[in-house]
Amino acid sequence: MKKSSITLLSVILTLSGCTTVADMVGMDSKTLNAQAGSNYHQILSKAQIDTTSNTAKTIQRAFNRLRPHANSLNNTGMRFDWQMTVIKDPKENAWAMPGGKMAFYTGLVQNYHLTESEIAAIVGHEMAHALLEHSKKQMGAGVLSDLTVQLGAIAVQTRTGYDHDLINFGASMLHEYGFDKPYSRHHEYEADALGMQLMAMAGYNPADAINVWKKMNAKQDGGSKAGGILSTHPSNNSRIQAMEKLLPKNRAIYERAIRR
């Protein structure tokens, strides 16, 4: 058992990355995109769809401006069937599924008084999650971290003789705070960066991506509630600092876009 566990772990660790792990267990892009499309329609069947308000029209306008640029940066090997649905709901939420199915909740616009450019920043961020296949990579990371933690627990129990339940508790804490959360924060930074690029390519001022997080800071007393070591998302302040470093490059992209 001990030898086979070590051998299996060695094989897993030689894989090229979490996307490869996801593919191996049947979570390939084609399958995920198809499943997402099915789930999307189930979600919409229970939602109140907004197609007529000024908020909905503004969201769709931003989405339509970003969509061709998202297609130009699609390196997944799969054609995305982009679709944006505006959901009339006070929740502060927006998301994108694998393959390009998206939703934007009116509460996010209303509660933060978002401009069209700020809406575009959020649309770009969510598009970036889909383009970078973060859902797929997170699934692959989950498979890999589950196996690694389980093998580690077996090794500790074999060497120490400690109680199985106690070891499993420690393993679950390692899984929760040692694997999943830092990986999720990394995804958020990646999506912030690509999202800024997308909005700039579409002719929206990338500085407004920073304004979104400043507005959230103001509502959340400095942004401490949205981040930190026990959060899946970086703090608002950390995101602002990271995006400020990217602003000169994206401002140049924006200026070229508005001259065309």
Average of per-residue pLDDT across 57-74: 99
- Position 233 scores a pLDDT of 57
The upper half-sphere exposure of residue 107, i.e. CA atoms within 13 Å in the direction of its Cβ, equals: 9
pLDDT digits (tens, 9 = 90+) for 166-224: 445 444 544 443 434 434 788 899 999 999 999 999 999 999 999 999 999 888 764 44
Annotated domain spans of the chain: 26-135+180-258
- Position 175 scores a pLDDT of 45
- Position 139 scores a pLDDT of 64
pTM to 2 decimal places = 0.73
Kindly indicate the confidence band of residue 51, based on its pLDDT and cuts at 50, 70 and 90.
Answer: very high
User: Which position has the higher pLDDT, 15 or 126?
Assistant: 126
Average of per-residue pLDDT across 214-239: 67
